[in-house]
């Protein structure tokens, strides 16, 4: 299996490049591969296609969820497998895949893992998302992080973005159609999950399973600001489920509309504003991952990669 690494050095506010500089020479002692570097937004789409056309069948993303989002929209899904070195701000897909959060631990284990097939979400029939797509408050937070909070990383960026927007954000009317059913009303946000996590570890849709052929949707209804603040700490454990204004349901196809111009985020990337239609593409992506029945804990590493 020919291997290519697509490296976003700027992911994680530049942390990604520093990690890659340590990991690359260690990998080269054990593995032959090509390296492609992104320079600007959208490059990973093109480079994933280029790497596949040049013979690579294993494409490893060195970056975060945004890098993965782009690569999946550029790679040949019929013949290529995705691997991930999590070096980005959130790396939330890796949480659902049960990756160790330490990229050095991942580098040690990645090429010993088997591939598994997971679902994708098809957006408006044109492109894919892998993890979570949402609109409303979370879209506005993603906008804040991507445009105004570039000096912060990880959970700090998401928490600051959430708290800043709580002051000014107003719940908006949503029209949600899914699998022949419909809901209308004011809502804080809607999060459509293929995976469980977003926002640097927020377990927004705890029941989500990456290969079950359906989305798990979290609809946060007309919550007050005070109630939102009360619920927020519980989202890290999934404890918000069961609140009377939080509804979770499954869907294979869902359309979201609003008379208000609400931001859409997919895997942390901004996609414009509503309306939005997504449908499941079952088992469309092959990805290297630990045994899905294993524990989501870092495993011991040894040798040069471990000591880097």
Give the model's confidence band at 150: pLDDT under 50 very low, under 70 low, under 90 confident, else very high. Answer: low
Q: Is 266 exposed, middle or buried (0-12, 13-18, 19+ CB in 10 A)?
A: buried
Check if 269 is active-site.
yes
Report the pLDDT averaged over residues 178-194: 98
Confidence of residue 198 (pLDDT cuts 50, 70, 90): very high
Q: Which fold has domain 3-113+290-307?
A: Rossmann fold (3.40.50)
CA distance 44 to 7: 8
Q: Which residues have a Cβ under 8 Å from the Cβ of 95 and sit 6 or more positions away?
A: 101, 195, 196, 197, 201, 296
pLDDT at 152: 64
Report the pLDDT value the prediction gives residue 299, as an integer from 0 to 100. Answer: 34
> How does pLDDT run across 228-253, given as a tens digit for each residue?
999 999 999 999 999 999 999 999 99
User: Could you report the per-residue pLDDT of 1-41, keeping only the tens digit for each?
Assistant: 799 999 999 998 899 999 999 999 999 999 999 999 999 99
Q: For residue 247, what are the β-bridge partners?
A: 219
Which residues belong to CATH 3.40.50.10330 in the chain?
A: 3-113+290-307
* 184 DSSP β-pair partners: 175
Alpha carbons 271 and 278: distance in angstroms, whole number: 13
Give the pair of three-digit tokens for residue 1: 């299996």
Q: Which two tokens stand for residue 117?
A: 């097939």
The CATH 2.60.200.40 domain(s) of the chain lie at: 129-281
Give the residue-averaged pLDDT of 214-220. Answer: 98
- Averaged confidence pLDDT in the chain: 91
Residue 38 tokens read as 């992104």
C-alpha–C-alpha distance, residues 156 and 158, integer Å: 6
Secondary element (H or E) of residue 157: helix 154-168
DSSP per-residue letters across 74-123: TS-TTT-EEEEEE-SS--HHHHHTT--S-HHHHHHHGGGSEEEEEEEEEE
129-281: what CATH class?
Answer: mainly beta
Task: Name the catalytic one among 269, 279, 295, 304.
Answer: 269
- Paired strand residues for 266: 133, 269
């Amino acid at each position: 299996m020919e291997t290519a690494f697509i490296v976003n050095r700027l992911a994680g506010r530049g942390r990604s490049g520093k990690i890659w500089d340590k990991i690359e020479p260690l990998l080269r002692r054990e593995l032959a591969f090509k390296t492609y570097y992104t320079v600007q937004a959208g490059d990973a789409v093109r480079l994933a296609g280029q790497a596949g056309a040049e013979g690579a069948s294993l494409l490893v993303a060195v970056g975060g969820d945004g890098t993965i989002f782009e690569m999946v929209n550029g790679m040949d899904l019929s013949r290529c497998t995705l691997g991930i070195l999590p070096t980005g701000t959130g790396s939330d897909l890796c949480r659902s895949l049960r990756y160790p959060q330490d990229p050095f631990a991942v580098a040690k284990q990645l090429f010993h893992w088997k591939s598994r097939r997971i679902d994708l979400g098809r957006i408006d029939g044109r492109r894919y998302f892998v993890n979570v797509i949402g609109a409303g408050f979370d879209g506005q937070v993603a906008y804040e992080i991507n445009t105004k909070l570039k000096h912060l990383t990880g959970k700090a960026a998401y928490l600051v973005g959430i708290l800043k927007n709580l002051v000014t954000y107003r719940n908006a009317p949503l029209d949600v159609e899914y699998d022949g059913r419909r809901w209308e009303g004011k809502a804080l946000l809607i999060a459509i999950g293929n995976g469980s996590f977003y926002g640097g570890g927020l377990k927004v849709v705890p029941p989500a399973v990456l290969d079950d052929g359906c989305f798990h949707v979290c609809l946060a209804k007309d919550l007050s600001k005070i109630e939102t603040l009360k619920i927020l700490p519980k989202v890290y454990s999934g404890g918000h489920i069961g609140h009377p204004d939080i509804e979770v349901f499954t869907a294979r196809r869902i359309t979201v509309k609003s008379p208000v111009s609400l931001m859409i985020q997919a895997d942390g990337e901004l996609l414009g504003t509503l309306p939005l239609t997504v449908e499941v593409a079952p088992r469309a992506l092959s990805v290297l991952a630990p045994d899905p029945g294993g524990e989501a804990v870092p495993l011991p590493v040894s040798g040069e990669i471990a000591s880097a």
